[in-house]
Amino acid sequence: MPNFTDRELFIAQIIGGTTFAITLITGTVGNLCLKTGKGLPEYMTCLEKTSWAILTIAIVWTALATWRRLAK
């Protein structure tokens, strides 16, 4: 298993948290646009679904970085 420094894990947590925030915002915007009928439905559906998929990856990324950092 690779050894990560505390700084590398902290940076991974920041990247995961930032990605979490951005995808939460874009997923919510896509959902609201679909509900209000603004924009093309195909694009808003793609925005919403892609955001939720990347949000899941960001959650796992942050959780693993936090777990590795706490395990040290």
Mean pLDDT by 10 residues, the chain (72 residues): 89 97 96 94 95 97 96 86
Specify whether the CB–CB gap between 67 and 4 falls below 8 A.
no
Does residue 54 belong to any structural domain of this protein? yes
For residue 57, what pLDDT is reported?
97
C-alpha 53/C-alpha 22 separation (Å) is 12
Closest C-alpha among 59, 52, 57 to residue 67 = 59
Look at residue 1 and give its three-state secondary structure.
coil
**pTM, entire model:** 0.85
For residue 47, what pLDDT is reported?
95
For residue 1, what pLDDT is reported?
61
Does residue 14 belong to any structural domain of this protein? no
- How many separate domains does the chain show? 1
Q: Which domain holds residue 54?
A: 22-71
For residue 6, what pLDDT is reported?
94
For residue 30, what pLDDT is reported?
95
